[in-house]
């Protein structure tokens, strides 16, 4: 897809804001590499799902295709932009992305983790991504707000709806269940990657 110039400029600004708001999450920040593709090198996997929620808010009604890989880099890390780098982590991520494109899937896939754990992790990630891609911007904003500890009252004031509508949105879209699934995946990935020296891209 060729994004309109104004849309691409807005996406670039969104990615820049996310990178600036949580610089500790990145070794190399979110960077547009092609018209509709971007990449980053994460030092903290737990930032991935919150960033998906915020990027999807901007992209809506378009969907997001995510390929992540854990592995080594064979080049120096570029701390200014996720460009001019290479290594097994990037190769695995490219392979995941090509697989998603061939299947015309808007899922989230991870590679580079122990093979006996990947099927369950990727099954959970696919279900999670399918749910997020179907959520409206208000639901995505509510989910992100809950992650940040915001109350239903503050979310209702920000969205211009009643607290009851916020609670109904949470229940109808199984928001708390999805957030619990994110936490479970984060714990699993953290346990598999701690002190191994790889990078997520």
pLDDT greater than 50 at residue 2: no
Q: Is residue 193 part of a domain?
A: no
Asked if residues 64 and 56 have their Cβ atoms less than 8 Å apart, the reply is yes
**Mean pLDDT to the nearest integer, 175-198:** 88
Provide the residue range defining the domain that includes 38. Answer: 5-134
**Per-residue pLDDT, 25:** 85
41, HSE (Cβ side, Cα atoms, 13 Å)? 24
Cβ-proximal residues to 101 (8 Å cutoff; 6+ apart), any chain: 65
pLDDT tens figures, 31-88: 998 777 899 999 888 889 999 999 999 988 888 899 999 999 999 999 999 999 999 9
Asked if residues 133 and 64 have their Cβ atoms less than 8 Å apart, the reply is yes
pLDDT greater than 80 at residue 168: yes
Q: Is residue 51 part of a domain?
A: yes
Q: Is residue 140 part of a domain?
A: no
pLDDT tens figures, 79-90: 999 999 999 999
Across all residues in the chain, what is the average pLDDT? 89
**Per-residue pLDDT, 158:** 94
Q: Is residue 179 part of a domain?
A: no
For residue 109, give the H/E element and its range.
strand 108-111
Work out how many domains the chain is built from and give that number: 1
**Mean pLDDT to the nearest integer, 131-135:** 93
CA distance 190 to 155: 30
Q: Sign of the C-alpha dihedral, residues 144, 35, 70, 72?
A: negative
Q: Is residue 170 part of a domain?
A: no
CA distance 165 to 172: 10
The whole model's pTM is what? Answer: 0.87
Q: Is residue 88 part of a domain?
A: yes
**Per-residue pLDDT, 107:** 83
**Per-residue pLDDT, 10:** 85
**Mean pLDDT to the nearest integer, 183-201:** 82
Q: Is residue 24 part of a domain?
A: yes
Q: Is residue 102 part of a domain?
A: yes
CA distance 122 to 120: 6
pLDDT greater than 50 at residue 14: yes
């Amino acid at each position: 897809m060729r994004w309109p110039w104004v849309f691409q400029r807005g996406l670039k600004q969104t990615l820049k804001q996310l990178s600036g708001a949580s610089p500790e999450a990145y070794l190399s920040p979110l960077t547009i590499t092609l018209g509709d593709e971007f990449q980053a090198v994460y030092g903290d996997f737990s930032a991935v799902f919150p960033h998906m929620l915020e990027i999807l808010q901007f992209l809506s009604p378009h969907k997001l295709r995510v390929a992540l890989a854990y592995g080594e880099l064979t080049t120096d890390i570029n701390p200014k932009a996720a460009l001019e780098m290479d290594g097994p982590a990037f190769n695995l991520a490219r392979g995941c992305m090509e697989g998603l494109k061939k299947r015309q899937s808007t899922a989230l896939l991870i590679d580079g983790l122990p093979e006996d754990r990947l099927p369950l992790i990727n099954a959970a990630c696919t279900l999670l991504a399918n749910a997020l891609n179907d959520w409206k911007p208000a639901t995505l904003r509510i989910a992100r707000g809950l992650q940040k500890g915001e109350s239903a009252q503050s979310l209702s004031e920000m969205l211009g709806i009643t607290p009851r509508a916020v609670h109904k949105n949470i229940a109808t879209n199984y928001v708390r269940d999805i957030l619990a699934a994110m936490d479970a995946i984060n714990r699993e990935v953290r346990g598999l990657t701690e002190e191994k020296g790889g990078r997520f891209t």
